[in-house]
Amino acid sequence: MATSEAGKGRYDGPVLGTPGDFPDRPERRGRLVVHVVIAILCAVCAGGWGYVMWASKGDTEVIDQVIAFDVSRGDSVQITFEVFKPADRAALCRLRATDVDHVEVGSREVEIPAGEGHARLTERLETSAQATSAHVHYCHLV
């Protein structure tokens, strides 16, 4: 044990020792391979997750936007929304009304015919209870 003059009994070497202090320890080989395999697995998982998130958005050729909704009546909701789509294709949109707990209390599908690239619609949804919000659940080309 090496000691210094200033502090007797104090060890001056590395705290955990040197590789020569452990002759029975096997040499580490293949660390690069392990790191490359882990990196490839992470990249595959990240790419898969990205694809799932991209695919869950659905058909992005149809863009919908809620302009306004009126929930003042207890048995229905009025919603005004816009849809942007290719003019030569029809679209199907599902409107949805929810209550204060975000439970669906009404829904309806609306078809937007071909021939219009931009449509602004006002629809009324019948509800089973008082709604607090209304939105376009999805729109896709048919």
Q: Are 78 and 69 in contact (CB under 8 A)?
A: yes
List, for residues 22-41, the tens digit of each pLDDT value.
Answer: 777 666 677 888 889 999 99
Those residues with Cβ within 8 angstroms of residue 100's Cβ, 6 or more apart along the chain or in another chain: 132
Which residue type occupies 15?
Answer: V
Give percent of the chain above pLDDT 70.
Answer: 87
pLDDT, residue 69, reads: 92
Distance from the first to the final alpha carbon of the chain: 82
The model's pLDDT over 69-108, given as tens digits with 9 standing for 90+, comes to: 999 988 999 999 999 998 888 999 999 999 999 999 999 9
Q: What span, in angstroms and rounded, lies between the C-alpha atoms of 13 and 20?
A: 13
pTM of model > 0.75: no
Classify domain 63-141 by CATH architecture: Sandwich (2.60)
Q: What is the average pLDDT value for the chain, to the nearest integer?
A: 85
- Which residue ranges make up each domain of the chain? 19-56, 63-141
For the chain, the farthest-separated pair of C-alpha atoms sits apart, in whole angstroms, at: 94
> Dihedral sign, CA of 77, 81, 85, 88?
positive
The pair of structure tokens assigned to 52 is 């799932």
Confidence of residue 5 (pLDDT cuts 50, 70, 90): low
